[in-house]
Amino acid sequence: MPSSGSTIPLSKLPLGQQGIVRELRSNSRARRRLLDLGLVVDTIVEAVCQSPSGDPKAYQIRGTVIALRAEEAASVIIERTES
Protein backbone atom coordinates (compact mmCIF):
# COMPACT_ATOMS: atom_id res chain seq x y z
CA MET A 1 0.00 0.00 0.00
CA PRO A 2 1.73 3.22 -1.08
CA SER A 3 1.99 6.02 1.43
CA SER A 4 1.54 9.72 0.86
CA GLY A 5 4.13 10.71 3.46
CA SER A 6 1.94 13.10 5.47
CA THR A 7 1.41 12.44 9.16
CA ILE A 8 -1.69 13.50 11.07
CA PRO A 9 -3.38 12.62 14.36
CA LEU A 10 -5.70 9.64 14.05
CA SER A 11 -8.58 11.89 15.17
CA LYS A 12 -8.25 13.81 11.84
CA LEU A 13 -8.49 10.71 9.63
CA PRO A 14 -11.61 11.04 7.41
CA LEU A 15 -14.17 8.24 7.35
CA GLY A 16 -13.32 5.52 4.84
CA GLN A 17 -9.63 6.44 4.80
CA GLN A 18 -6.68 4.41 6.06
CA GLY A 19 -3.41 5.19 7.73
CA ILE A 20 -0.43 3.45 9.29
CA VAL A 21 0.42 4.02 12.95
CA ARG A 22 3.78 5.81 13.22
CA GLU A 23 3.90 7.05 16.83
CA LEU A 24 1.99 7.10 20.14
CA ARG A 25 2.18 10.39 22.05
CA SER A 26 0.56 9.63 25.38
CA ASN A 27 1.41 8.97 29.00
CA SER A 28 2.28 5.48 30.14
CA ARG A 29 -1.23 4.48 31.28
CA ALA A 30 -3.02 5.69 28.13
CA ARG A 31 -0.17 4.37 25.98
CA ARG A 32 -0.53 0.90 27.51
CA ARG A 33 -4.28 0.92 26.74
CA LEU A 34 -3.71 1.94 23.12
CA LEU A 35 -1.07 -0.76 22.70
CA ASP A 36 -3.43 -3.34 24.23
CA LEU A 37 -6.07 -2.30 21.67
CA GLY A 38 -3.62 -3.11 18.86
CA LEU A 39 -2.39 0.38 18.01
CA VAL A 40 1.26 -0.51 17.52
CA VAL A 41 3.70 1.03 15.04
CA ASP A 42 3.15 -0.10 11.42
CA THR A 43 -0.46 -1.21 12.05
CA ILE A 44 -3.05 -0.23 9.43
CA VAL A 45 -6.03 1.69 10.83
CA GLU A 46 -9.25 2.65 9.01
CA ALA A 47 -11.87 5.15 10.17
CA VAL A 48 -15.17 3.30 9.67
CA CYS A 49 -17.93 5.33 11.37
CA GLN A 50 -18.69 7.95 13.99
CA SER A 51 -21.44 8.80 16.41
CA PRO A 52 -24.03 11.41 15.37
CA SER A 53 -22.21 14.00 17.48
CA GLY A 54 -18.88 13.08 15.85
CA ASP A 55 -17.21 11.77 19.01
CA PRO A 56 -16.35 8.93 19.48
CA LYS A 57 -15.27 7.58 16.11
CA ALA A 58 -14.91 3.87 15.28
CA TYR A 59 -11.72 2.48 13.77
CA GLN A 60 -10.95 -0.92 12.31
CA ILE A 61 -7.67 -2.23 13.69
CA ARG A 62 -6.37 -5.74 13.01
CA GLY A 63 -9.84 -7.02 12.12
CA THR A 64 -11.56 -5.50 15.15
CA VAL A 65 -13.61 -2.31 15.39
CA ILE A 66 -12.92 -0.10 18.40
CA ALA A 67 -14.27 3.30 19.41
CA LEU A 68 -11.94 6.08 20.52
CA ARG A 69 -12.76 9.57 21.70
CA ALA A 70 -11.05 12.39 19.81
CA GLU A 71 -8.79 13.13 22.79
CA GLU A 72 -7.44 9.55 22.77
CA ALA A 73 -7.17 9.35 18.98
CA ALA A 74 -5.25 12.65 18.86
CA SER A 75 -2.31 11.00 20.63
CA VAL A 76 -1.93 8.43 17.83
CA ILE A 77 0.10 9.78 14.91
CA ILE A 78 -0.53 8.08 11.59
CA GLU A 79 0.80 8.32 8.08
CA ARG A 80 -2.04 8.59 5.57
CA THR A 81 -2.10 6.00 2.83
CA GLU A 82 -3.66 5.96 -0.60
CA SER A 83 -6.58 3.53 -0.47
Ordered by start, the domain boundaries in the chain are 3-81
d(CA 4, CA 11): 18
Q: Are 76 and 7 in contact (CB under 8 A)?
A: no
- Cis amide linkage into residue 2, ω under 30° from 0: no
pLDDT digits (tens, 9 = 90+) for 25-81: 988 888 999 998 889 999 999 999 999 988 999 999 999 999 999 999 999 999 998
The confidence score (pLDDT) of residue 4 equals 54
Residue 5 binned pLDDT confidence (cut-offs 50, 70, 90): low
- C-alpha dihedral sign at 38, 41, 45, 47: positive
Fold assignment, 3-81: SH3 type barrels. (2.30.30)
Question: To which H or E segment does residue 72 belong?
Answer: helix 70-73
Q: Rounded to two decimals, what is the model's pTM?
A: 0.86
Torsion, Cα of 70, 33, 63, 9 (10° steps): 30
